[in-house]
Amino acid sequence: MAKTLLVLAAALAAAPLAAQTAPQTAAASRPAPSSAEPAPEDWHDIPDDEILLIQLANGKQVAIRLAARFAPAHVNNIRKLAAARWWDGESVYRVQENWVAQWGDPTEKKPLPPEILARPPAEFEIGAFAPAQRLAKPDSYAAATGVTADGWPVASDGKAAWLTHCYGMVGVARDALPDTGTGAELFTPIGQSARRLDRNYTVVGRIIEGMQSLSALPRSDAAMGVYPTEAERTGIAWVRLASQLPPDERPHFQVRATDNPRYAAMLALRENPAPPTIATGLNVCDLPAAVRRRP
């Protein structure tokens, strides 16, 4: 049976209301919009060996930025799996409404390459909490949240820190501990953020292009959202690192640096939005990935 994740127990519903008036006090502290725009020097190239490309059998492509410095053992496994072409011919075999899409080998019987670390260390946490920008308020899952200088969403309880399971983040499916997952079975939240998974699963990356190719797939009504038949699955043609492709076929991406006053100004605008919005606040998963194709 395919590795499964914890099921989200309940979802909150919110009904937006049209605001007729708004306080004038927030406007005084709000930075000018132009100050929040990125400068050319804010865009940094993402290395080709940190871009994982999934070519789906339907012709669509998904690009993942790998979190190599936060989950080195699992990312090393993922790089080896891509080099061995292990995912070629596999599928997206699970799509659960408002939860996750998951891909790999649904039978879990396909042999792994011999060089794969069968039980890498648990990389549920990342060590020190050192965001370049910190959000003003805590949330339900962490005492503090923020974003690293190179754009990763992070959280902390004051003792440990971890990457957060936001929409589009990529995690490693696993069985019960001591299993930590090899990286062969991966998932991404496709609905509301799956913060309940924080510190329970290793986060290895974030989808930076083509997320809609997974989030728009038909949902399965079967248990845990696992498609009961092969015909319902979305096939995977191939998976490669960008560095494994010929130079003229590689997509190049850039990430926006956050350790500058322009990003801080953007954050302030989002935490204190303009009228007619009345209530303020920002969740770490509300922050965009801030990645673009290199011009």
DSSP state of 98: T
Measured CA distances, 52 to 78, 114, 252, 274, 289 (Å): 9, 21, 11, 37, 16
Strand 153-156 relative to strand 161-163, pairing: antiparallel
Does residue 9 fall inside a structural domain?
Answer: no
Parent domain of 181: 41-108+119-293
Does residue 16 fall inside a structural domain?
Answer: no
pTM (2 d.p.):
0.88
pLDDT at 3: 54
Segment (H or E) for 261: helix 261-271
- Give one DSSP letter per residue of 58-97, joined into a string: TS-EEEEEE-TTTSHHHHHHHHHHHHTTTTTT-EEEEE-T
Q: What is the pLDDT of residues 83-118, one digit of tens each?
A: 999 999 999 999 999 999 999 999 999 999 999 999
Does residue 81 fall inside a structural domain?
Answer: yes
User: What are the structure tokens assigned to 23, written together?
Assistant: 């306080």
3-state secondary structure of 187: strand
DSSP state of 127: B
pLDDT at 19: 31
CATH number at residue 176: 2.40.100.10
3-state secondary structure of 44: strand
Measured CA distances, 181 to 202, 210, 287 (Å): 8, 25, 28
Does residue 225 fall inside a structural domain?
Answer: yes
Range 270-284 average pLDDT: 87
pLDDT at residue 24 tops 60: no
Range 238-263 average pLDDT: 98
Number of structural domains, the chain?
A: 1
